[in-house]
Amino acid sequence: MPKPRIALTNLHDLSADFLSLTPVQKIGVAIQELLIEKGIIAPDELSQSINLIDTITPAQGSRVVARAWVDASFKERLLTDAVAACLELQIDIRPIHLIVIGNTSKIHNVIVCTLCSCYPRMLLGLPPDWYKSSAYRARVIHEPRTVLREFGTHLKEHAQITVHDSTADMRYMVLPIRPDNTDNMKEDELAELVTRDCMIGVKIPQLPSGFSTA
Amino acid sequence: MSSSAIGPHDLAGTLTDSINTKERELDLWEKRIDALYKLLSDDKRCHINIHEFRYAIESLGADAYTNHNYYERWTLALRNLLIDKNVLSELEITQKVQEIEDR
Amino acid sequence: MNARPKFNKGDRVIVRMLSPQPHTRTPAYLHGKPGVIERFCGAFENPEERAIGRSGFPLTLLYRVRFFGSILFSTNKTCEADIVEVEIYEHWLQRDNSHAKT
């Protein structure tokens, strides 16, 4: 059950959680208050920035994938220049440098940032804890099949796996394969099949009935 | 691996732990740190850049990975950077924590 | 003015083993390993310089390099990653003039 959003309209709201915090977490509140006192950050800037976090979802990424599924020439442009292709859909992710990697019948792709947690938030929403975890970062780079099985994803034996390590200035998104039996689905219905985990590469899009193709 | 890790954050191949895939929303304290980093590194302020920030997290040492979670490491890195850059002092941070405790 | 890329797509390269830097984005599992340039990514501020308060100029050139997973992770266990593709800055790469297949 999601927690009710805090109004964050005043300084009291911004520090409302203080008593429940650990010593390190309390330092964050202290830094917040000091930066506001010194005029480095305005309270409304901070509350807007905090509230913005709640609005980030994978919807934009899903839209991009769905468009690529229905429009082959858009897909080619997306794989060639992902930032420009996103702009066609009024999705402006600059200054992010994005590379979209397309899955094929032979190659499955999965994304990791072994050194930290680099990730295209504007398209995929907030990164889940597991993507940022030491275990994922340590393991998927050399045992992606085992990791994918832990996510319930079983690839065909002969499928090649490519792992992309987001070490520097690029950010990545996987373009999954369009599931079979979706010819009659509209673009927005197709977008609903595309989850964040499909665009990271640990899952494969499933039809609502649970039937999945790999 | 052919050579030792470049730092405690260089994790490729180092662990066999299971991956906890549980979903959750961020707590307010985590959103706070996330937002503070965004604001401090934005074009208006340019107090810190992403590279300094990553380096500050790496510089926390290996214990930081065992003793603190993701956004706690961010908190400590931000604190250290702001102190190093003379934006805040260690003393005033400590005093502010106490002041809020006493409210 | 940016330097011209030293490498082209398809060039065989080896990741150098540079002396430890305070901050770098080339993880240890790549050090000394042979790969192939997958694409040129552009010119960016040098993160190793920016991390320690320097300007990051002149810009450094970035590539994506493709490796066989089995060469990167040559432990007793079979590496499940067939291919690993990573971004690496130009000063970490040297041309691979050996005859070994990559």
Check whether residue A16 and residue A79 sit in a common domain.
no
Please indicate whether residue A86 is annotated as part of the active site.
no
Q: Is residue A32 one of the residues assigned to a domain?
A: yes
ipTM over 0.90: yes
Nearest to C27 among B12, B51, B54 (CB): B12
User: Which of B13, B26, B33 faces A141 most closely, judged by CB atoms?
Assistant: B13
A16 and A86 co-located in one domain: no
> Are both A17 and A87 inside the same structural domain?
no
| Chain B touched by C69 (CB under 8 Å) | no
User: What's the mean pLDDT in B72-80?
Assistant: 97
Position A7 scores a pLDDT of 56
Residues A80 and A156 in one domain: yes
Look up the domain containing A150 and give its range. Answer: 59-200
Q: What is the pTM of this model?
A: 0.94
Q: Which of C70, C23, C13 is nearest to C50 (CA)?
A: C23
Are residue A180 and residue A99 in the same domain, yes or no? yes
Both tokens of residue A125?
């929403």
What integer pLDDT is reported at residue B4 of this predicted model?
76
- Does the residue A209 lie in any domain? no
What DSSP string runs through chain A? -PPPPP---SHHHHTTTGGG--HHHHHHHHHHHHHHHTTSS-HHHHHHHHHHHHH--THHHHHHHHHHHH-HHHHHHHHH-HHHHHHHTT---TT-EEEEEE--SSEEEEEE-SSS----HHHH-SPPHHHHSHHHHHHTTT-HHHHHHHTT----TT-EEEEEE--SSEEEEEEPPPPSS-TT--HHHHHHH--HHHHHTSS--B-TTS-B--
Residue A214 included in any domain: no
A158 in a domain, yes or no?
yes
A113 among known catalytic residues: yes
A3–B25 CB contact, under 8 Å: yes
Say yes or no: A51 and A72 in one domain. no
pLDDT at res. C100: 56
Same domain for A29 and A82?
Answer: no
Residues from chain A contacting residue B79 (CB–CB below 8 Å)? 27, 31
Least confident of B42-46, C8-12, C26-30: B42-46
Neighbours of chain A (3+ CB pairs under 8 A): B, C
Token pair 């990164």: residue:
A127
Residues of chain C in contact with residue A99, where contact means CB-CB under 8 angstroms, are 64
Nearest CA in chain A to C48: A168
pLDDT at residue A1, as a whole number: 42
Q: Which residue has the tokens 């502010």?
A: B96
Q: Please tell me the distance from the alpha carbon of residue A194 to that of residue A197, in angstroms, as a whole number.
A: 8
- The answer to whether residue A213 is domain-embedded is no
pLDDT at A8: 64
**pLDDT tens track for A66-111:** 999 999 999 999 999 999 999 999 999 999 999 999 999 999 999 9
Is C56 or A130 the better-scoring residue by pLDDT?
A130
Contact criterion met (CB < 8 Å) for B6 and C50: no
Report the percentage of chain C scoring pLDDT > 90.
77
Is the domain of A84 the same as that of A172? yes
Whether residue A6 lies inside any domain: the answer is no
**Count of domains observed in chain A:** 2
Low-confidence ranges of chain A (pLDDT < 50): 1-4, 212-213
Domain CATH number, residue A106: 3.90.330.10
Q: How far is B40 from chain C (nearest CA, A)?
A: 15
Q: Do B29 and A41 touch (CB under 8 A)?
A: no
What is the rounded average pLDDT of the residues B20-46?
94
Position A181 in a domain: yes
Q: Are residues A161 and A175 in the same domain?
A: yes
Q: Cβ contacts (< 8 Å) between C88 and chain A: which residues?
A: 167-168
Q: Which residues of B touch C48 (CB under 8 A)?
A: 51
Contact C50 B52 (CB under 8 A): yes
By C-alpha distance, the chain B residue nearest C24 is B6
Residues A89, A121, single domain; the answer is yes
For residue C19, the model assigns a pLDDT of: 85
Q: Nearest CB to C31: which of B3, B13, B58? A: B3
Based on the fold, state whether residues A46 and A64 are members of the same structural domain: no
Question: In terms of domains, do A76 and A158 share one?
Answer: yes
Quick one: pLDDT at residue A210?
55
Mean pLDDT along residues B2-6: 68
Please give the average per-residue pLDDT across C65-94, as a whole number. 90
Least reliable range by pLDDT among A30-34, B82-86, C5-9, C18-22: C18-22
pLDDT higher than threshold 90 for residue C62: yes
